[in-house]
Structure 1
């Protein structure tokens, strides 16, 4: 393969990668019968990854969240509540002893 052919092949592979990433974002942009913008979808991915990392860290520390906690975290991932509200809820539960 000549140098120009190799460069053309690599350029085409990059186009394919970009197209696949766009398809992935579009697929995630349609959830629960709703359509979301690319920015909203990327924010959803960020929240999802943050929640997954936090739950994994807790599990490694031997702390398994109960279903109610997982429901609250999912509401954060879905964008229904802000992280600040989750923190406030946790503080109220901790001060109430539950």
Structure 2
């Protein structure tokens, strides 16, 4: 290939990469019939990854969360509940003995 041909090929590959990234962002931004901004999508991914890490840690320790906790944690991942609220609920439940 000549230099102009190689440059044209590389430019086309870059266009394809950018198009694929745009499609990926759109796919992640559309969940549950709603559309989210890139920032909201990145925050969703961060919360999801945090929960995955926490659940993996529990599994390594031989712990299994009760079903009600799973629902509350999913509310956090979905952005319906702040981490502070989730933490406060856990403290209240612990002090109540449940």
TM-score normalized by the length of structure 1: 0.85
Unpaired stretches in structure 1, ≥5 consecutive residues: none
> What SS does the corresponding residue of 2:65 show, helix, strand or coil?
coil
Q: Any gaps of 5 or more consecutive residues in structure 2?
A: none
Q: 1:75: which partner in 2? A: 75
2:16 matched to which residue of 1?
Answer: 16
Q: Is 82-91 or 52-61 further displaced after alignment?
A: 52-61
Q: CA RMSD in A?
A: 1.7
Q: Which 4+ residue blocks in structure 1 deviate beyond 4 angstroms?
A: 2-8
Deviation readout 1:54-92 (Å, 9 max, x if unpaired): 111111111111211111110001000000111111111
CA separation of 1:23/1:93 partners in 2, compared to 1, >3 Å: closer, same or farther?
A: same
Q: Decide which moves more: 63-72 or 14-23.
A: 14-23
Q: TM-score, normalised by structure 2?
A: 0.85
Structure 1 residues 95 and 31: CA distance shift in structure 2, 3 A = same
